Structure 1
Amino acid sequence: MKEALKSIINLSQIANSKKLSDYLKNLSGHFAFILSTEKHTILIVDCVRSIPILFAKFQDTWVISDTGSDFVNTCNLSAKYLNQEQTKIFAMSGFTTGKDTIYKNINCLEAGSFVRLKNEKSADITFDSYYYINFQPWKVNPKYSDKEWLDSSKRVLENLIIRTIKNINNRQVLIPLSAGLDSRLLASGLRHFGYENVVCFSYGLRNNHEANAAREIAKKLNYPWYFIETTRKEFKNCRQKNYYQEYLEYADTFTAVPSEQDVVTISKLRSFDWVDSDAIIINGQSGDFITGGHVSNIFSCCPSKFSKKSPNNILISELVKKHYGLWPTLQNTKSLKLIKSKVIEEIKKHNAPEDSPQLTYALYELSEHYNRQTKYVIQGQRSYDFFGFDWRLPFWDTQMIQFWQSVPLPHKINQSLYKKTLYSLNWGGVWKDCDYPEWISPTWVKPIRLCTKLACSFLGKSIWHKIERRFFSYFMDILCIYSATSWWEIATSPRDHRNSISWLSKKYLKKHNLRFDGSLR
């Protein structure tokens, strides 16, 4: 990385941004650079903006940081500077779109981009922005046979694990292991290639199905496994502590709800004697998205059935259904029109094929990549940074991304190719003939929930799910994130919500003097 930095510094002296782009395109790993020359300051983030950078012009000077709290006092932020379009989008989704933040004139670097700022004392807030690498899931390879795709997928995963092993240099690897495909792939892949210095751990409510599956997987792989229990009371108490509030400040980038999934757990890791001082945390983000797990079956409909205008309508409908429903009551004609305008703007900016109905699914992946994934999901790494842990994101390896964005739709639906590959490789013997059942935790909820469901059966599935979210999701949340809010507030709320992030979003917006719907208080 030192040699890479020297090369970037040399290239930054040159006004030709194409040369810098060509160099960055071949740079692997996760990084962010801020380079200042006499005439310019250049800001660079990696292909998924794993380390965010924000910037704004204040009193003729550029203010640059990786956290929003640095702007609060420096730029005298107040309600009048809020970006009302983005706060409304944020209220629906938990993240902003494009380069915008919830504040006017505070911008963020988008994934795979760099920005050149002019170092001059003026009120000019213009800047030059470039994408050195683009996420382009419409550039598919239609020539491979099914066998060729399977063989290629195997090679990609094998090389992914080999590169990861080479990079971590025999340091201890901590894997947050669950019942899912991605963390299991990492653990089984490391075992298959003989990497011994691995410890798996799981967390949440006692006796949850994810932890139970993880224990069985780790046992088969002959890796040590530990369970770190979290209770609702503990989560609620920890959230009031200074360290937690400091984390929320640190993780606030004005672009997404700070991730709270594992803050309590990661805060404890240093106290365990089974954790090495130089341990690296490696999680499974975001293997499910990259391999097609978020592509709806509706996109597999024959394109000839689409009318000329319907692909965009289907695209917006699926995006809204999946990612803009934290509070269903906010989905109205005006808000949908706003979301559509932002999505179309993004499609045009990335020169995506908006007139090809058969590639509508790729536009869906494009929008999710540049917004939810690289803003909300990836910022889960911030808890590792805050507590001083090194980390890796193998699934966001550039070669992995490039391969999977070339995979045609039929192999992405239901992660078809990915699952075939995993079960064909069967690393560590934890894939074929391995059943990891799911159940509801805690146990006491099950009979009460079942009786309520039977009593409400005549109301229909949709009403039942609303009842379940209102009265039972709080207790069934194995990560205890709902505990940031009281059960009573959820149960008596005048409106339906989607999940625990709805309530975290509400708290976040309140902190920035906004109502739950993104309007000024």
Structure 2
Amino acid sequence: MKTDLFNGYFWYQNKLFNDLPPDFFPSEYKPETYTSILKELNGCFRLIVEGNDFLIAAVDRVRSLPLFFYQKGKDLFIDPDAFELKKLLNNPELDNLIFTEFLLTAHCCQNDTLYPEIKQLEAGQFLIWHKSEARLELRDYYIYQHLFEPIENPIEAMDEMHQHIIQRLIDSAHNRTLVIPLSGGYDSRNIAYMLKRADYKNVICFTYGKPYDGDCSTSRKVAKFLNFPWIMVENTRPMWYEAFHSEEMLQYFRFGTNLSSSFHVQDWLAVKILKEKELIPSDAIFVPGHSGGALQGQYLPLIFENRDKMTSKELIQTILRQFYHLWEYPMEKLYSLFSDRIGSYLTIPDTVLTEIATSIYDEWAWRQWESKFIVNSVRVYEFFNYEWRIPLWDNEFMEFWQRIPFSQRTHRQLLKQYLQKYQPIPVPAYHDYSFTRRIKNKYARITVGNIMTLGYGRFLDYKDRDAYLNTKIASLLVPELHYPEFINPELPILKAQINAIQALIYIKELVSGNLDNITLSKQF
């Protein structure tokens, strides 16, 4: 047996592996054995292992390093780069339903990509290719579902869990510099605080945007309290416009999307500046704080509160409302398009207890939005040749929150109790602008759109005020492509959601063929 591909790292039986040993998996394929081994791997990885009569391919529990496959007759093609598989196709066409879903969510759901012939492995999943039979089999080795096994003394247990995941982070870093994108929220400060408690010295915190924003101010205060170096990377509209329209950005579109996720560029410019100005070591490791809030209950919709049960339709509509929201579209039309797709995937009974409904909701959030868009943002660090770690997707972190009941996750109640006891940072988490600023921003959005939001400088030249205010969605559309009815060509760009615009731009570059001939050498 030989290892055809391995990227990443993992812990297995308390030992760190940066490579896959040749005999790690048994030479005879047994589904239960492979499932058991994969379930124990704690880290970020993708692998392809070939046996005498079979081949397996797997990704980790959050699809942090994706894999794509294409079956043609008796042949199976697998590649970390979906564009390489696209080269095997003859003028492929977009799948209409998946294309619609992509525009509403900024990623493709389930095993699909924008092209029906090319599929992707989902988080916690592996495939088996039976060579002699030319038969493909997909299996789940892990699914994020709540276990309803309460933890005794959960606050103390949480602190112990945090210490374990931070120690694994430290052990994998080998004393290299850990760079934390420190926001004003809870998750990144959790990582920074635990590194301070562990007395890890090589830490740099940074933030980006406008120096006077509340988020940046909070970040600076937290770093100062922890006595960690802090870097403010200022971003302006002209800087963003130049960067977004560069050849380097087009290369990133090709690198970071894989026909299945819209590009994530929120911290792209900041990382580029950190690298070019040599503000961090070349072998630094980025440690973002996502996605602790997702597991802790930060995004649980209010519909789940104060009720014992809900219908399948209500749950599917909740998922649609939360994740299929980039464009305004009547719920009855959304439900008509996607209810069968979501319902059959999640196998939701007609009526479901609310506690179970929240588990089903979290399962969808984990495997779709979090893994395919949020976690996929680590492509930014890879693009600039940096490694990364995501400790808040450590197995122990996930398994802890799987056992916390809904009542303790709403509004992140349990986390806030923990922070008061174990992380007493005298800097409140940043939530929003002041009331006066929010009123002004709301008025601006109603009248001219998101003119106050810095990120829109990516798309339009702020110095041309008339074009900035009035350029319409029509300028982003491909004439020969049929778009769903919710895409309004006459809507000014400033009045559309930023991820909706980026999804349209990606489709335009993809369909035009601008991404097909870009050669990449970057690899995690």
CA RMSD of aligned residues (A): 3.0
The C-alpha deviation readout for 1:345-381, integer Å capped at 9, x for no partner, is 2213xx9997434321111111111111110111100
Residue 471 of structure 1 aligns with which residue?
Answer: 448
Residue 101 of structure 2 aligns with which residue?
Answer: 89
Matches within 5 A, 1:75-474: 75-79=89-93, 82-119=94-131, 126-137=135-146, 139-142=147-150, 144=151, 148-303=153-308, 306=309, 310-329=310-329, 331=330, 333-348=332-347, 355-426=352-423, 429-430=424-425, 432=426, 434=428, 438-439=432-433, 450=440, 453=443, 468=445, 471-474=448-451
TM-score normalised by L of structure 1? 0.84
Q: Distance in 2 between matches of 1:446 and 1:10?
A: 57
Q: Distance in 1 between matches of 2:429 and 2:322?
A: 28
Judging changes above 3 Å, is the alpha-carbon distance between structure 1 residues 376 and 433 closer, same or farther for their aligned structure 2 residues? closer
Residue 81 of structure 2 aligns with which residue?
Answer: 67
Contact 1:39 1:118 (8 Å CA) reproduced: yes
Partner secondary structure for residue 376 of structure 1? helix
Partner secondary structure for residue 44 of structure 2? coil
Q: Distance in 1 between matches of 2:95 and 2:43?
A: 33
Counterpart amino acid of residue 142 in structure 2: I
Contact 1:481 1:500 (8 Å CA) reproduced: no
Judging changes above 3 Å, is the alpha-carbon distance between structure 1 residues 195 and 130 closer, same or farther for their aligned structure 2 residues? same
Q: Distance in 1 between matches of 2:33 and 2:298?
A: 35
Q: Distance in 2 between matches of 1:380 and 1:365?
A: 20
Residue 462 of structure 1 aligns with which residue?
Answer: none
Counterpart amino acid of residue 105 in structure 1: E
Contact 2:300 2:410 (8 Å CA) reproduced: yes
Q: Aligned to 2:490, which of 494, 509, 513?
A: 494
Q: Aligned to 1:45, which of 38, 59, 70?
A: 59
Q: Distance in 2 between matches of 1:389 and 1:510?
A: 29
Q: Distance in 2 between matches of 1:100 and 1:424?
A: 44
The C-alpha deviation readout for 1:400-445, integer Å capped at 9, x for no partner, is 001101100010000100111112112xx42x4647584379xxx9
Counterpart amino acid of residue 471 in structure 2: E
Q: Distance in 2 between matches of 1:58 and 1:233?
A: 47
Report the Cα offset of residue 313 of structure 1.
Answer: 2.4
Report the Cα offset of residue 478 of structure 1.
Answer: 5.7
Counterpart amino acid of residue 473 in structure 1: N
Counterpart amino acid of residue 313 in structure 1: K
The C-alpha deviation readout for 1:231-284, integer Å capped at 9, x for no partner, is 112212112222111110011222221211122222222223431121110010
Report the Cα offset of residue 292 of structure 1.
Answer: 1.1
Q: Distance in 2 between matches of 1:41 and 1:370?
A: 24
The C-alpha deviation readout for 1:188-208, integer Å capped at 9, x for no partner, is 111122111111111123422
Contact 1:203 1:479 (8 Å CA) reproduced: no
Q: Distance in 1 between matches of 2:249 and 2:200?
A: 34
Larger RCO: 1 or 2 (CA < 8 Å, sep 6+): 1
Judging changes above 3 Å, is the alpha-carbon distance between structure 1 residues 314 and 173 closer, same or farther for their aligned structure 2 residues? same
Report the Cα offset of residue 162 of structure 1.
Answer: 2.4
Q: Aligned to 1:511, which of 485, 497, 509?
A: 509
Judging changes above 3 Å, is the alpha-carbon distance between structure 1 residues 38 and 140 closer, same or farther for their aligned structure 2 residues? same
Q: Distance in 1 between matches of 2:430 and 2:366?
A: 30
Report the Cα offset of residue 53 of structure 1.
Answer: 0.5
Q: Distance in 1 between matches of 2:361 and 2:246?
A: 39
Q: Distance in 2 between matches of 1:479 and 1:227?
A: 20
Report the Cα offset of residue 58 of structure 1.
Answer: 4.0
Residue 18 of structure 1 aligns with which residue?
Answer: 32
Counterpart amino acid of residue 475 in structure 1: M
Which one is further off, 314-323 or 105-114?
314-323
Identity across the alignment (%): 22
Report the Cα offset of residue 399 of structure 1.
Answer: 0.6
List alignment gaps of at least 5 residues for structure 2. Answer: 1-8, 10-15, 462-466, 475-488, 513-524
Contact 1:205 1:479 (8 Å CA) reproduced: no
Report the Cα offset of residue 210 of structure 1.
Answer: 1.4
Judging changes above 3 Å, is the alpha-carbon distance between structure 1 residues 264 and 12 closer, same or farther for their aligned structure 2 residues? farther
Contact 1:470 1:490 (8 Å CA) reproduced: no
Q: Distance in 2 between matches of 1:293 and 1:352?
A: 25
Partner secondary structure for residue 494 of structure 1? coil
Partner secondary structure for residue 404 of structure 2? coil
The C-alpha deviation readout for 1:430-483, integer Å capped at 9, x for no partner, is 2x4647584379xxx959x73983xxxxxxxxxxxxx61672424324685565
Q: Distance in 2 between matches of 1:40 and 1:68?
A: 22
Judging changes above 3 Å, is the alpha-carbon distance between structure 1 residues 450 and 391 closer, same or farther for their aligned structure 2 residues? closer
Contact 1:45 1:111 (8 Å CA) reproduced: yes
Q: Distance in 2 between matches of 1:451 and 1:509?
A: 30
Report the Cα offset of residue 512 of structure 1.
Answer: 4.1
Counterpart amino acid of residue 17 in structure 1: P
Q: Distance in 1 between matches of 2:140 and 2:86?
A: 28
List alignment gaps of at least 5 residues for structure 1. Answer: 454-466, 515-521
Counterpart amino acid of residue 489 in structure 1: T
Contact 1:293 1:415 (8 Å CA) reproduced: yes
TM-score normalised by L of structure 2? 0.83
Contact 1:469 1:498 (8 Å CA) reproduced: no
Contact 2:264 2:377 (8 Å CA) reproduced: yes
Report the Cα offset of residue 6 of structure 1.
Answer: 4.7
Counterpart amino acid of residue 204 in structure 2: V
Contact 1:67 1:251 (8 Å CA) reproduced: no
The C-alpha deviation readout for 1:139-187, integer Å capped at 9, x for no partner, is 1224x56xx1222222222222222222222110111111010111111
Partner secondary structure for residue 414 of structure 2? helix
